[in-house]
Structure 1
Amino acid sequence: MTSEAIASPNPFAAAWSLCRREIVRFLRQRNRIVGAIGQPIIFWLLFGTGLTGVFRTSGQGGADESFTVYFFPGTLLLIVLFTAIFATISIIEDRNEGFLQSVLVSPIPRWSMVLGKVLGGTILAVGQAMIFLLLGYFVGIHMNAVQLASIFGILVVVGIGLTSLGFWLAWRMDSTQGFHAVMNLLLMPMWLLSGAFFPIPTNTSSFGQWVLSWVMTLNPVTYALGAIRQILHAETAPSFLGGETTGDFWLPGVGLGVTITILFAIVMFALACRAAGKTRRGDWI
C-alpha cells in the first residue's frame, strides 16, 4: 500500500466501518434492544387500551377505530426517536473513552464520520420500527407491498433527520446526564406534539388552541407522522398535497409530509456536519 493510499482513505468505506461498529455495539448490548423497542410497545399497549374508551377517532370510511390503531403510527416514530437517542449518546461515550479522538486525527473528512454515525443509528431505528410495523397485522392493520415500501422510505428519511439532530446535540455536550435532559426537553415534546396522540386542531377559537395548532404545524415530525398515517389507513389513494380536514382536525398530505421530512433530514444532516467540523474542548487527547 502506498503512502498516498494511506493518506487518502475512502471516506465511504470509513463511514461504513463506523456504521457497522454502531450495529455491532447495539447487538452486543441486549438492554438497548429491550429499551428501544420494549418501552414504545408498552406505551402502545397501555395508552391504546386505556384511552380507547376516552377518545373516539374516525377511521376508514368514517367508521370509529380504536385508539390502539390510531396510536400505532405514533409508536413507530417513538421507536425511531428512542433509537436515535441511544445511538447518538455513544458520541459522548466515545469522546470520554478516547475513541472519538482517534477518529478525528485520522485523514477522513468529518462528514464521513457523521455519515457513519447517522447511518448506523438510522439502520437500527428503521429495523426495529419495521419489526413493530409487522405487528400491525395482529390488530387489524393490513398493508400491501406498496404501503410497506412507502412507509419504509419515510422511516428512513425521518430516521436520518432525528439521528442527525441527536448527533448535533450530543456533539456539543460532555455528559450523558445533560444529553438525556435536553433530549427529554426537546425530542419528547416533538413526538407528543406530532399528532401521535391527537391530530392538528383547526378550531382555534381559544388562544391555547391557536398556539397548539401552530406548534404542531411547525413541528417537522408532524409531517412524517401525517404521511405515514395517510398511507397506513387509506383504502384508496391518500391525499398527496394539501392534506385533508376531518371535522375540527387537519392531517398533512403524503406529498407535503414527504417533502417537509426530506428537507428536515437535509437540514439536520448539514447542521451535524457543520458542528463536527468545529473543534471543541475534549476533542483532542
Structure 2
Amino acid sequence: MTTGVTTPGVVRVHVPRRSVGHDLRAVKIVLHREMLRFVNDRSRMISTLIQPVLWLFVMGTGLSTLVSQGPSMGVDFRTFMYPGVIAMTVITTAMFSAGSIVWDREFGFLREMLVAPVSRSSIVIGKCLGGGIVATVQGVIILAMAGLVHVPYSPGLILTLLGEMFLASFTITAFGVSLAARMKNMQSFFGIMQMAIMPMIFLSGAMFPLANLPGWLAFLTKINPLTYAVDPMRHAVFTHLDVTPQAMQALNPGVHWFDWHVPVGVELIIIAAMGAALLGVAIAQFRRDG
C-alpha cells in the first residue's frame, strides 16, 4: 500500500581524507592565527613588556648601586641581568600564548579545530610554532635595548640570541600547551603558570650569578630546566664584552656537573630535547581529549 509520500533523498557529505598537505596547511593556519592575535592585541604586547623593563632598568639600576664594589668587577649589573631579562620576556610571552588554548576551549573554538579533518598533532605543532615566533618577536623589543645596557649590536650576537630565544620559547610554549590541554578555565591555568614559572625563573640564574652559591641552591639551579636556556644567552652576551677574566669567572661561570663544565652546545641540546618531549606530551593530551 502506497501513501504517495516520497522519502526525501539522503544528502551525501564528503569529508576529505587526511593528508600531509592538509596537516601542513593546518599548521600554517594555526600559526597565522597566533600571529594575528598577537598583532591585534596591543595591550598584551605592552603588558608583557612592562615587567622585564622594570626588572632591567629599575631593579637593575638599584642593584647596581649595591654590587658596584662587589663581584661585578666593573661590569654594569644591568649588563649581567640583560640575558635573564630576555629569557623572562620570551618565557612569559610563550606561556601567555599557550594559555589561549584554555580561552579557545571556553568559547568553543577549540572544539571546532578538533573536529576538523586534520591530525591533532598539526594543531599542537602550529600552536607551539606560533607561540615560539610570537615570544621571539616580543623578545626582539628587549634585544633592541641592548645598547642602553652596554651590550654591543653585533650581528653574530643578535643572530645567536634570536636562535636561543626561539628554542627556549618553543619549549616553554609546548610546556604551557601540555598544561592548558587539561585546564577548564583561565584562572586555574594562570595559577599553575605562576606557581611553575616564577620559581623556575628565579632559580635559573637570570638575576644572580651561578658562581659560589650554597650547595642547596646550586643543586636547585642545576636541576632547573630554565638554567640551560638562560646560561647560553649569558654566554653569548659575555663573549662579546670586553671584561676581565676575573669578571668572566664571577659573572659567567657556566653550569657545572660536579667538575665538568657543561658546554653551551649540550645545554641547547637539552632544551631542544625537552621541547620535543613536551611537544609529544601535548600531542598525547590532545589525542586523549578526542
Q: Same fold (TM over 0.5)?
A: yes
Equivalent residue for 1:188? 198
Q: Establish whether residue 47 from structure 1 lines up as the match of residue 59 from structure 2.
A: yes
Equivalent residue for 2:232? 227
Q: Please, what TM-score do these two structures have when normalized by structure 1? A: 0.85
Contact 2:18/2:119 (8 A) holds in 1: no
Tell me the C-alpha RMSD between the 2 structures.
2.4
Q: Establish whether residue 261 from structure 1 lines up as the match of residue 266 from structure 2.
A: no
One of 245, 249, 271 as aligned partner of 1:246: 249
One of 13, 29, 37 as aligned partner of 2:49: 37
Residue 5 of structure 1, CA deviation: 4.5
Q: Establish whether residue 199 from structure 1 lines up as the match of residue 209 from structure 2.
A: yes
For residues 215-243 of structure 1, the C-alpha deviation after alignment (integer angstroms, 9 at most, x for no partner) is: 1001121112111111111148xxxxxxx
Q: Secondary structure at the match of 1:220?
A: coil
Pick the structure with greater CA Rg.
2
Contact 1:193/1:222 (8 A) holds in 2: yes
For residues 30-85 of structure 1, the C-alpha deviation after alignment (integer angstroms, 9 at most, x for no partner) is: 211111222211221111111112235767xxx42121111111110111112112
Paired residues in the alignment total 265
5+ residue gaps, structure 1, are 204-208, 237-243
Q: 1:249 to 1:34 in 2, by over 3 A?
A: closer
Which residue identity lines up with residue 147 of structure 2 in the other structure? Y
Mapped partners of 1:48, 1:24: distance in 2: 33
Equivalent residue for 2:9? none
Mapped partners of 1:36, 1:95: distance in 2: 23
Q: Establish whether residue 26 from structure 1 lines up as the match of residue 38 from structure 2.
A: yes
Mapped partners of 1:248, 1:64: distance in 2: 11
Identical-pair percentage: 28
Mapped partners of 1:247, 1:127: distance in 2: 31
Contact 1:199/1:251 (8 A) holds in 2: no
5+ residue gaps, structure 2, are 1-12, 242-246, 256-262
For residues 117-150 of structure 1, the C-alpha deviation after alignment (integer angstroms, 9 at most, x for no partner) is: 1111111100111221121012210042222111
Contact 2:82/2:149 (8 A) holds in 1: no
Equivalent residue for 1:178? 188
Contact 2:211/2:250 (8 A) holds in 1: no
Contact 1:23/1:120 (8 A) holds in 2: yes
